Amino acid sequence: MNKLVRSMICVALMLVLMLGMLAYMPKAEATDGPSCYCWISGWGYGNETSAIPKGERAYLCYELYADQEGNTKLNDVYDASYTAVMTIYAPDGTVEYTDTANNDDECWIYVTPDVLGTYTYELVFSGELYGTFEGSFTVYDPNANVVRLAGANRWATSLKVADEMKYARDVDKFDTMIIASGMNFADALSGSYLAAVKKAPILLCWKGDKKYDYINEEIVKYVKNNLAEGGTVYILGAESAVPGTVDTMLEGHNVKRLAGKDRFETNLKILKEAGVKDGAEILVCTATNFADSLSASATGKPILLVWNERGTLYGSQPSYLSGLKNCTFTIVGGENAVSKSLENQLKQYGSVSRLAGADRFETSVLVAKRYFGSVNDAVLAYAWNFPDGLCGGPLASVMKCPLILTMDRYEAKAVDYVQGKGIKIGVVLGSGELISDATAKKIFGGTSIVVK
Q: What pLDDT score was predicted for residue 31?
A: 40
Report residue 135's pLDDT band, with 50, 70 and 90 as the boundaries: confident
List, for residues 71-105, the tens digit of each pLDDT value.
Answer: 555 555 456 788 889 899 999 999 999 999 887 77
**Under a CB-based contact definition with an 8 Å cutoff, are residues 108 and 84 in contact?**
no
Q: What is the mean pLDDT of residues 137-154?
A: 90
Distance in angstroms (rounded) separating the CA atoms of residues 410 and 404:
12
Report residue 19's pLDDT band, with 50, 70 and 90 as the boundaries: very low
Instruction: Supply angle C-alpha 264, 266, 271, rounded to 5.
Output: 95
Whether pLDDT at 361 is above 70: yes
Q: What pLDDT score was predicted for residue 46?
A: 54
Q: What is the mean pLDDT of residues 258-281?
A: 98
Q: If we measure between CA atoms, which residue out of 138, 150, 134, 101 comes closest to residue 432?
A: 150
Distance in angstroms (rounded) separating the CA atoms of residues 442 and 428:
13
pTM across the whole model: 0.82
Distance in angstroms (rounded) separating the CA atoms of residues 78 and 206:
36
What Cα–Cα distance (Å) separates residue 86 from each residue in 28, 100, 107, 108, 159?
Answer: 19, 6, 10, 10, 27
Whether pLDDT at 365 is above 50: yes
List, for residues 369-396, the tens digit of each pLDDT value.
Answer: 999 999 999 999 999 999 899 999 999 9
The average confidence (pLDDT) of the chain is 87
CB neighbours of 388 closer than 8 A, spacing ≥ 6? 149, 150, 154, 157, 381, 382, 429, 430, 434
Whether pLDDT at 22 is above 50: no
What are the residue ranges of helices labelled H in 170-254?
A: 186-198, 214-226, 244-249
Q: If we measure between CA atoms, which residue out of 168, 52, 154, 63 comes closest to residue 111?
A: 52
Whether pLDDT at 63 is above 90: no
Q: What pLDDT score was predicted for residue 76?
A: 53
Q: If we measure between CA atoms, which residue out of 399, 394, 392 comes closest to residue 434?
A: 392
Q: What pLDDT score was predicted for residue 9?
A: 47
List, for residues 300-349, the tens digit of each pLDDT value.
Answer: 999 999 999 999 999 999 999 999 999 999 999 999 999 999 999 999 99
CB neighbours of 324 closer than 8 A, spacing ≥ 6? 276, 278, 280, 349, 350
Backbone dihedral region of 33: left (phi > 0), alpha (psi from -120 to 50 degrees) or beta? left
Whether pLDDT at 414 is above 80: yes
Report residue 284's pLDDT band, with 50, 70 and 90 as the boundaries: very high
Beta pairing class for 129-140 and 28-29: parallel
**Under a CB-based contact definition with an 8 Å cutoff, are residues 154 and 182 in contact?**
yes
Q: What is the mean pLDDT of residues 18-41?
A: 44
Whether pLDDT at 120 is above 50: yes
List, for residues 172-192, the tens digit of each pLDDT value.
Answer: 999 999 999 999 999 999 999
> Which stretch of 34-38, 168-172, 265-269, 285-289 has the lowest confidence by average pLDDT?
34-38
Q: What pLDDT score was predicted for residue 29?
A: 42
Q: What pLDDT score was predicted for residue 36?
A: 59
